[in-house]
Amino acid sequence: MRDMKEFWGMMNVLDNADDVAIFVVSGRDSRLLYCNHLVTVVTNAHAGSHVSQVWDMEDYQKANTRCNEGGTYRYVVEQSPFGQRRNVTVSKVVWSMGILAYAFLLTAHVDDKEEEEREKIFSILGQSYRHIFLMDIIKGEMTTLLKPAAGSGEGHYRPVYYHPVRYDEWKKNLITEHAHPDDTEQLYRYLEPTALREGLERRDYSFQYRRRNGESFCWTELRFLRLPELEGRIVVTERDVDEDNQTSNQQWQNEVILRSISNNYRSIYLLDLAAHDYVTVKQDELLFGIPAEGSIETLAQIVSEIIPDEGQKRDFISSFSAGFLAAAFEGGAENVVREYNSLLSENLAWMGVNALKPPYMPGMENKCVLTFMDITEHKRVEAERNEKNIIVDVLSSRYKCVFFSNMTDGSFHSIQIPPEFRYIEKQFNTIDGAMQHYARAYVLEQYRDVFKNQITRQRILENPEDSSRRECIYRTVENTWIRLHVYPFRDDSGMSEALIVFEDYSDVMEQREMSQMYNAALLADYDYMFEYDVENDQVYSLLYDGERLVREQRMDCGIHTDRFREEVPIHPDDMEMFLMAFSEENLKETFEAGKTVSHMFLRRRAEGSSEYRLFMYGFHYIADMGRQRVLIMARDSEREIL
C-alpha cells in the first residue's frame, strides 16, 4: 500500500513520457484522479473523466479484482488505446485521507517465458481454432490464448493473453453464458475434474455441444489434449463442427490448413502417407498438369520434370516419397525441406519444397502438408551474403581489427576489435567520426593526414571502380606499424558497404628496415655474388642494384659437373677445396648448424684474364620453408673496404 503523494512527485517525469501511459482511478466513483500527458493526447481524458473513456470497463473490473486478491497485478493486453501488446501493472493505492485508488501503468511488451510458450503452442496447433485455452492443472486456472477478434467476421482471429481465471469460474461461464440449455447437464458431467482426468489418461479427451452464436446455436467440439512440450498444463481447443454438411470435411480441412500456414507458398497439397495419395489445398498457377487429386508418385513425377539437374531430380523423388516422409516424421522430424533448381521461367530459377505436419485435427494422424515456394530472390541474396561472409571470415582471422561500414549513411559496427578500442563503437555513430578520433588518439601526427584525406566515407566512395581495395601504412604513438585496408562491396547501385581492416605490420617493416641496412652495409662491398639451389643443382648470378638483390642469370651447368670446373674462374689448385663447400656431407652439417663459412681462394681478376688475385669467399647456408640454398659472395681481398 503506497501513499498517493508518491505519484505526485513523479508527475514531471511521467507527463513528458511518450511511450509510457499511467492513470490513477478512484475506487469510489471510477473517475480519474490523475493521468499523464500521453493518456490525455490519446483519449482526450483528464482528471475527473470516467475510466471508461480510457479503458475497457470489463477489463478494468477484472484487473481490480485480481489486484485486491494479491496486491500488485501484472498482465498483457493485445489491444489497447495506447498500442498493441502492452504490459499492464495494476497497483492498489491508499491516500492519506483514506481514498482508495488503482494505478494503471502501461509499457511496451517484452516477450517473456509465457509469450514463448504461447507461440510454441500456436506453432504446433496453428491458429485455426475458434478458441484456444491453456489449463494449469496445479493452479486450477484457465487462460485464453486465442479468440475471435471483436467486431470481425467469422474466421478472423487474434492471439490474446487475458487474465487467468479459476477453472470453476471458466466452466460456469461456458455453461451458463454460451451453452444450449439442453446441453448444460451433459456439459457439467464432461467438465468434472474426474471425467477430465480419466479421459486424458486414455487419450485426448473431446466432446461436442451446442454453443451460442448470436441468436442461434452451432455445434462445437471442445478437445483437451496433452502436448509433450507442456508439463503440467493442458491445451483446450474449440472449433465449429459442420453438422449440416454445408461444406465437406475436405473443404474444412483445407480451410484450416490455409489459415494455419504462411500465404507465401506458391502451392499446397495434403498428402496421405498411409494411402499414398494427395488432394490439392492451393492450386499452383505455374505447375500445369497436376490433377486436383491422385497418387503421390504421380505428383512427384510431374514436379520432377521441371528440375533440370538429374541428381536433384532423384533427390526430390526420393525425399518426398510417402515412405521417406512417413519414416522422417516417425523419427521426430518437424519437417523435410529441400531446395532445387527449376525450369518454371527465367525469373523463377529456384523453388523450395517443404513437407510438414498439418495443424492438429481429427483424421490428420497419417497426413502431411507439401508446399512449394519461389525462393529465387532468397537464393540470390543468400549467395551475396555467403560471398560477403566468406570474405569477412577470412579477413577476421587475419587482421587484428575489422570494421563493417554502411556507405549509405556511414554507420558501422565491429566484427573483430581489441578490447581497448571497444569504447569507440559506443561513442561514435559514423565511421568518419570514429576514424578521426582514432587518428587523433593513436596515430603519430605526421601520419594523421592519411585518415583525414583518405579514410573517410566520401573518399572511399570515390575509390576507382576497377580497384578492389585501398591500403595505407602508418605508425602509431606506440611506435608500431599498421597497414590499413579498405575492401569495398558493390552492387548495381554502386558501393553499398565496405570493410575497414587493420593489420599489424611491425614485423614486416622491421624486416624491411633490417634488410635495407644489411644490403647497404654488406652487399655493396662484394664484387661477385651467386646463389646455389641445392635441390635442383642450379647456380644463379646475383646483382645488387642498390635497393634489392635480384637473380641476374642462371648458369647452364650444375656445380658438380666437369663443365662447371672448366667455366668457374677459381684457380685449379683451389678447385677441390672450393667444391668441398658443396659436398653432401658438408651441406648436411652446415644446414643443421646454420653455419656461415669464409675462405680465401685464388680467382681470375676478370673474365679472359690470366692474372689471379686472392678473393675472400663467404658461404651463407640458408634453409627456409624446406628449401636449401647457398649464398656465395666474393670480394677482392686487396680492395680497400670503406
Q: How many CB atoms lie within 10 A of CB 459?
A: 15
Confidence of residue 466 (pLDDT cuts 50, 70, 90): very low
pLDDT-wise least confident of 305-314, 526-535, 566-575, 623-632: 623-632
Res 243: pLDDT: 45
Q: Residue 440, Cα to own-chain centre: how many angstroms?
A: 35
The 10 Å Cβ neighbour count of residue 3 is 11
Task: Say how far apart CA 25 and CA 359 lie, in whole Å.
Answer: 44
Q: At residue 54, does pLDDT exceed 90?
A: yes
* Helix boundaries (H) for 5-154: 5-8, 11-15, 37-43, 57-70, 113-125
Domain ranges of the chain: 5-108, 113-240, 249-374, 380-504, 522-636
- The neighbour count for residue 296, using CB atoms within 10 Å, is 21
Look at residue 247 in the predicted model and tell me its pLDDT: 45
The answer to whether residue 20 scores a pLDDT higher than 80 is yes
Q: What is the pLDDT of residue 31?
A: 92
CA distance 183 to 175: 8
Q: Is the pLDDT of residue 12 over 60?
A: no
On whether the CB atoms of residues 590 and 558 are closer than 8 A, the answer is no
Section 304-309 average pLDDT: 84
Give me the CATH code for the 380-504 domain, please. Answer: 3.30.450.20
Percent residues over pLDDT 70 in the chain: 73
Which of 189-198, 256-265, 365-374, 456-465 comes out lowest in average pLDDT? 256-265
Alpha-carbon dihedral sign for residues 320, 322, 326, 327:
negative
Q: Which residues of 238-271 are buried (b: 16+ CB within 10 A; e: fewer)?
A: bbeeeeeeeeeeeebbbebbeebbeeebbbbbbb
Classify residue 273 by burial, with Cβ atoms within 10 Å: 0-12, 13-18, 19+: buried
Confidence of residue 516 (pLDDT cuts 50, 70, 90): very low
Q: Which range (74-83, 278-287, 374-383, 501-510) has the least confidence?
A: 374-383
Percent of the chain clearing pLDDT 90 (strictly above): 3
Cβ–Cβ under 8 Å, residues 402 and 500: yes
Q: Is the pLDDT of residue 215 over 50?
A: yes
Calculate the average pLDDT of the chain.
Answer: 77
d(CA 594, CA 278): 78
Question: pLDDT tens for residues 83-93?
Answer: 887 888 898 88
pLDDT > 60? residue 613:
yes
For every residue of 206-271, DSSP letters joined together read EEEEEEEETTEEEEEEEEEE--TT-TTEEEEEEEE--TT-SS-HHHHHHHHHHHHS-TT-SEEEEE
Q: Which CATH number applies to 249-374?
A: 3.30.450
In which band, very low, low, confident or very high, does the pLDDT at 113 lie, cut at 50, 70 and 90?
low
**pLDDT value for 211:** 87
Q: d(Cα 233, Cα 129) in Å, to the nearest integer? A: 18
Q: What is the pLDDT of residue 115?
A: 66
Residue 7 has pLDDT above 70, yes or no: no
Task: State pLDDT tens for residues 89-107.
Answer: 898 887 655 668 899 998 8
Highest mean pLDDT of the ranges 54-58, 377-381, 410-414:
54-58
The amino acid that residue 332 corresponds to is: G
Asked if the model's pLDDT at residue 498 lies above 80, the reply is yes
What would the CATH number be for the domain defined by 113-240?
Answer: 3.30.450
Q: Cβ neighbours of residue 22 under 8 Å, at least 6 residues apart? A: 7, 14, 34, 35, 36, 39, 103, 104, 105, 106
Q: What is the pLDDT of residue 212?
A: 86
Distance separating alpha carbons of residues 170 and 131, to the nearest angstrom: 13
Calculate the alpha carbon distances from 423 to 418, 420, 429, 433 in Å: 10, 7, 12, 13
State the average pLDDT over residues 513-520.
48
Q: Quick check: helix, strand or coil at residue 176?
A: helix
Name the least confident of 2-16, 345-359, 472-486, 497-511. 2-16
Is the per-residue pLDDT at 17 higher than 80? no
Burial letters for 520-532: b for 16+ Cβ neighbours within 10 Å, e otherwise? Answer: eeebeebebbbbb
The pLDDT assigned to 52 comes to 93
Q: Please tell me whether residue 164 adopts helix, strand or coil conformation.
A: coil
* Nearest-10 crossing angle of helices 296-304, 310-319: 160
Q: List pLDDT tens digits, range 549-584.
A: 677 767 778 888 888 887 788 888 888 888 888 888
According to the model, what pLDDT value does residue 55 have?
93
Rounded to an integer, the average pLDDT of 339-358 is 76
* 620, amino acid identity: H
Q: What are phi and psi of 192, to 5 degrees?
A: -65, 140
- Set of cell numbers at residue 74: 501484472
Confidence of residue 621 (pLDDT cuts 50, 70, 90): confident
Greatest mean pLDDT range, 126-135, 196-205, 306-315, 501-510: 306-315
Q: Which superfamily does 5-108 belong to? A: PAS domain (3.30.450.20)
Q: Which CATH superfamily is domain 522-636 in?
A: PAS domain (3.30.450.20)
